[in-house]
Chains A and B, each alone.
Chain A
Amino acid sequence: VIEEGGVKMKLTVIDTPGFGDQINNENCWEPIEKYINEQYEKFLKEEVNIARKKRIPDTRVHCCLYFISPTGHSLRPLDLEFMKHLSKVVNIIPVIAKADTMTLEEKTEFKQRVRKELEVNGIEFYPQKEFDEDLEDKTENDKIRQESMPFAVVGSDKEYQVNGKRVLGRKTPWGIIEVENLTHCEFALLRDFVIRTHLQDLKEVTHNIHYETYRAKRLNDNGGLPPMTVETEENHESNL
């Protein structure tokens, strides 16, 4: 739980070690999809309960940061497959990692290429076009979608002295890369986007769209009945 300016936030970070590490990575996104759906299921079960809690504990995944390798060429087949499957169940924000390996031109070219590939393959990353609520949202999000994303970031938890200030950065023999300097990388843009401007919207889209889609599918599969039926089956099981 972290606090800032009197506002408390319970932050959960879910890591997925081992993703894409095998020689055969077929379906390696399945455990991830399964986990996300399990959180929806948990929420659904609580929601349909007769005596349900006033504030349902929300363990649903509000945002998935997908790290793209800065090859400078294009997306990898695994990236495409993952995002195709997961963009339907969760908000995906593609991020280009370790961006200090690309020059400004390489960065611009790569981002353009990735954006085009995502578009050609019908992958809707967050913020999704179809969920823009009004013109104001649309203009703001269009700019982000078409120019800034995917954010090319550099991360660091070490501080160095630059021009009299202490900044987060990476030290190399040819200079210091400042993480929060917009001329160096887009970390600040990502941070502002996810935390300062769109945090609430990420939660709302998860709840109003992704979760509702899951819920509708579950109800349809059960013939329009809420998953209470599951309990009955189990009860019947024990009677046998």
Chain B
Amino acid sequence: QQPAQFSNPETSGYVGFANLPNQVHRKSVKKGFEFTLMVVGESGLGKSTLINSLFLTDLYPERIIPGAAEKIERTVQIEASTVEIEERGVKLRLTVVDTPGYGDAINCRDCFKTIISYIDEQFERYLHDESGLNRRHIIDNRVHCCFYFISPFGHGLKLLDVEFMKAIHNKVNIVPVIAKADTLSLKERERLKKRILDEIEDHGIKIYHLPDAESDEDEDFKEQTRLLKASIPFCVVGSNQLIEAKGKKVRGRLYPWGVVEVENPEHNDFLKLRTMLITHMQDLQEVTQDLHYENFRSERLKRGGRKIEEEVVNKDQILLEKEAELRRMQEMIARMQAQMQMQMQSGEGDSSAVHGQHV
């Protein structure tokens, strides 16, 4: 590479390290990029469709959707699918971590244990690799971003939503997304967004904050960043079906009353979500590394390799629960015995219909 290609050699005092960014760029492009995106939300919110729409691919080619009876027995699973996509010579190794079974059970108390374990495991593995002797090929499988899907059918966040987000907001970047937004009118969307933001603040949930545009960026970028920040949580509609609308073929959903266009900013925030993900992929990785991973690492090293006494605490809890249950059963037996006694006595007593005091 001749310096002449990249700069003005006539300027005196020119050394040539201004070429560094280009070198970094070339190396990164050669190496390729890695990104791990986790999607969490109850079944039927359009998560898979949205992921396929975002990355214009089909990550779930042979999918079988289980029925309700099967879902009763199922626990939360973790399914990671990796796909290598390339655009203009730039390679992206994208891993999408799906969490089927989340929110399905009648009792969702243990819903998030599996998910949190998975996130911690990736941190653990990275820590292990980072501390190892051969650090040439550390693979980064840490979760860089979590899209949390909120149902548009309710009136805001559900209890489960709040509890889950509070449990992972110190481990992963949360991007809340309102799914199936084509069921909401524009006014309903604004109301729902505001309500969700208020609830997030009330509960102290830390979601991913887009960094403000730097002062030296151009106005367009600054405006775009402002718009993105103002639209969170994003209301999205996903689809990979091509529909004919206004003379062109667009990706959308065809209803008897009209066509919802996925890439129309007046119909939903899909484009905003995609823009945010693309322009902030780097930042999402950095925050994961500098904040979430470092948190994990310092906690882990402080503990010195021992697992927290979670197990002991759990055993105590289980004992307390069993004692409470025993007490309840004893009370129930006492009540039944009392009832039986009364029934036996009333068989001998006279039958005047005077109202007594209610037992």
Contacts and interface: CB of A to CB of B under 8 A. Distances in A.
Contacts of B105: 77
A22 interface: yes
A173 B259 CA distance: 9
Contacts of B65: 73-74
B161 to A, nearest CB: 10
Contacts of A23: 107-109, 111, 159-160, 163
Contacts of B267: 173-174
A77 B186 contact: no
A26 B153 contact: no
Given A71-B43, A73-B44, A98-B153, A117 B183 contact: no
B256 A101 contact: no
B17 interface: no
B44 to A, nearest CB: 2
Interface in A1-52: 21-26
Given A74-B67, A175-B255, A176-B257, A170 B185 contact: yes
B269 to A, nearest CB: 13
A69 B41 CA distance: 14
B28 to A, nearest CB: 40
Nearest to A172: B185
Contacts of B160: 23
Contacts of B359: 233-234, 237
A234 B351 CA distance: 11
A173 B255 contact: no
Contacts of A238: 354, 356-357
A77 to B, nearest CB: 4
Contact of B104 (A76, A113, A229): A76
Contacts of A231: 353-356
Interface in B315-359: 342-343, 345-346, 349-359
A113 B68 CA distance: 10
Interface stretch (A56-64, A78-86, A140-148, A192-200): A78-86
B44 A69 contact: yes
A207 B68 CA distance: 32
B72 interface: yes
Contacts of A55: none
Nearest to A110: B44
B20 interface: no
Contacts of A232: 346, 349-353
Contact of B67 (A117, A177, A184, A228): A117
Contacts of A239: 349, 356
Interface in B6-50: 42-45
Interface string A116-139: 010011000000000000000000
Contact of B68 (A117, A175, A229): A117
Nearest to B239: A103
Given A73-B44, A174-B257, A121 B69 contact: yes
A72 B63 CA distance: 14
A26 B106 contact: yes
Contacts of A89: none
Contacts of A120: 67, 69
A237 B345 CA distance: 10
27 contacts: A22-B159, A23-B108, A23-B159, A73-B43, A75-B67, A76-B104, A77-B104, A81-B72, A81-B106, A100-B182, A100-B255, A103-B255, A117-B68, A121-B69, A172-B186, A172-B258, A173-B186, A174-B257, A174-B258, A174-B261, A184-B257, A233-B346, A234-B355, A234-B357, A235-B356, A236-B342, A238-B357
Query: What 5 A-B pairs are tightest by C-beta distance, nearest first?
Result: A71-B44, A175-B258, A234-B356, A174-B258, A175-B257
Given A70-B44, A104-B255, 6 more contacts: A23-B107, A74-B65, A77-B69, A98-B153, A100-B255, A174-B257
Interface of A: 21-26, 69-81, 97-98, 100-101, 103-104, 113, 117, 120-121, 170-178, 181, 183-184, 228-229, 231-239
Interface of B: 42-45, 65-69, 71-72, 104-109, 111, 151-153, 158-160, 163, 180, 182-183, 185-186, 253-261, 266-267, 342-343, 345-346, 349-359
